Amino acid sequence: MHNASKHLLFILAPLVVVFALLPGVYQNHLLLFNFVIFLILAQGVNIIYGFTGYLPFGYVGFFGAGAYGFAIMVMHLQTPAPLAVLVGGLVAVALGLLLTPLLRLSGAYFAIANLAASLAVLHFVANPALEGITKGPYGVSLTGTFNPTHAYYAAVIVMALTVGAVIYLKNSPFGLALQAVREDAVSASMAGVNIVKMRVIAWLASALVAGLAGGIYAWYVSVFYPDNVFSGEFSIFAIVFALFGGVATITGPIVGVLILYGIYNLIGFTTPQYFQLIYGLLIMGLVLFLPAGLVSLATRRGWHVP
Amino acid sequence: MSPEQNSILKVSKLVKRFGGFHALDGLSFHVVPGEILGLVGPNGSGKTTAINVISGLYAPDGGEVVFDGASSGGVASHKLVHRGINRTFQVPKPFLSLTVRENIQVALAYGGATGTPPSIAELLEEYRLKEVADRPAADLNSAQQKMLDLTRALATRPRLLLLDELAAGLNPAELDWIAGRIKALAATGMAIIVVEHLMGFIEQITDRVIVLNAGKEIFEGTLATAVREPQVIEVFLGGEHAH
Ligand SMILES: Nc1ncnc2c1ncn2[C@@H]1O[C@H](COP(=O)(O)OP(=O)(O)O)[C@@H](O)[C@H]1O
Ligand SMILES: [Mg+2]
What confidence tens digit (pLDDT) does each residue in A222-258 have? 999 999 999 999 999 999 999 999 999 999 999 999 9
- Half-sphere exposure at residue A216, Cβ-oriented, CA atoms within 13 angstroms: 26
Domain housing A61: 3-241
Last residue of a domain, which of B127, B142, B157? B157
Cα dist. B240→A181, B68, B159, B197, B212 in Å? 37, 35, 33, 11, 13
Q: How far is CA A238 from the centre of its chain?
A: 6
In the reported structure, the alpha carbon of residue A235 is separated from the centroid of ligand 2 by a whole-number distance in angstroms of 43
Query: By alpha-carbon position, which residue is closest to atom 16 of ligand 1?
Result: B46
In the reported structure, the alpha carbon of residue B25 is separated from the centroid of ligand 1 by a whole-number distance in angstroms of 12
B89 domain-assigned: no
pLDDT (tens digit, 9 = 90+) per residue, B95-123?
999 999 999 999 999 998 777 888 999 99
CATH number reported for the structural domain that contains residue B208 in this entry: 3.40.50.300
Same domain flag for B148 and B31:
no
B25 domain-assigned: yes
Give SS3 for B181.
helix
- A190–B153: do the CB atoms touch at under 8 Å? yes
pLDDT (tens digit, 9 = 90+) per residue, B9-32?
999 999 999 999 999 999 999 999
- Half-sphere exposure at residue B161, Cβ-oriented, CA atoms within 13 angstroms: 31
- Taking residues B62-91, report their average pLDDT: 97
Last residue of a domain, which of B157, B180, B202? B157
Other C-beta atoms lying within 10 Å of the C-beta of residue A195:
24
Same domain flag for B53 and B75:
yes
The DSSP 8-state label assigned to residue B4 in this structure reads: G
> What integer pLDDT is reported at residue B242 of this predicted model?
44
B243 domain-assigned: no
A201 domain-assigned: yes
Same domain flag for B164 and B73:
yes
Burial B30-49 (b: 16+ CB within 10 A, else e): bbbbbbbbbbbbbeebbbbb
B241 domain-assigned: no
> What integer pLDDT is reported at residue B238 of this predicted model?
63
Same domain flag for B146 and B172:
no
CA distance linking residue B89 with residue B102, whole number of Å: 19
Name the minimum distance, in Å, from the CA of A102 to any CA of chain B. Answer: 20
Pick from B39, B48, B194, B211 the residue to mutate for probing ligand 1's pocket: most ligand atoms within 8 Å of its CB: B48
Same domain flag for B69 and B169:
yes
Q: Is the CB of B18 under 6 A from ligand 1?
A: yes
Residue ranges in chain A whose pLDDT is less than 70: 1
- Residue B243: enclosing H or E segment and its boundaries? none
**Full-model pTM:** 0.92
Cβ pair B64, B73 in contact under 8 A: yes
Q: Is the CB of B20 under 6 A from ligand 1?
A: no
CA distance linking residue A35 with residue A22, whole number of Å: 11
A253 domain-assigned: no
Between strands B160-164 and B85-87, the pairing is parallel
Between strands B191-195 and B160-164, the pairing is parallel
Name the minimum distance, in Å, from the CA of A196 to any CA of chain B. Answer: 11
Name the minimum distance, in Å, from the CA of B237 to any CA of chain A. Answer: 35
A291 domain-assigned: no
Sheet order of strands, B191-195 included:
B85-87, B160-164, B191-195, B36-40, B208-213, B216-221
- A189–B78: do the CB atoms touch at under 8 Å? yes
Question: Which ligand is nearest the CA of B45, by number?
Answer: 1
Give SS3 for B31.
strand
Q: Is the CB of B32 under 6 A from ligand 1?
A: no
Last residue of a domain, which of B157, B188, B210? B157
- Please spell the DSSP secondary structure of B45-94, one letter per residue: SSHHHHHHHHTTSS--SEEEEEETTEE-TT--HHHHHHHTEEE--SS---
Q: What's the number of domains chain B is made of?
A: 2
A90 domain-assigned: yes
Give SS3 for B162.
strand
User: Which percentage of chain B shows pLDDT scores above 90?
Assistant: 83
| Residue at A279: amino acid letter | Y
A258 domain-assigned: no
Using 50, 70 and 90 to split pLDDT, how confident is the model at B3?
Answer: low
- A176–B89: do the CB atoms touch at under 8 Å? no
The DSSP 8-state label assigned to residue B206 in this structure reads: -
Residue B2 has pLDDT above 50, yes or no: no
A contact set with B (CB within 8 A): 173, 176-177, 179-180, 183-184, 186-195, 248
Chain A residue with minimum CA distance to B156? A191
CA distance linking residue B145 with residue B230, whole number of Å: 38
Question: Which ligand is nearest the CA of B88, by number?
Answer: 2
> What integer pLDDT is reported at residue B1 of this predicted model?
46
Same domain flag for B12 and B122:
no
Same domain flag for B24 and B111:
no
Q: Is the CB of B213 under 6 A from ligand 1?
A: no
Task: Give B15's strand partners.
Answer: B25, B62
Phi, psi of B93 (to 5 degrees): -130, 70
User: Which percentage of chain B shows pLDDT scores above 70?
Assistant: 95
A55 domain-assigned: yes
Name the minimum distance, in Å, from the CA of A6 to any CA of chain B. Answer: 20
Q: What's the number of domains chain A is made of?
A: 1
Domain housing B143: 94-157
B56 touches chain A (CB under 8 A): yes
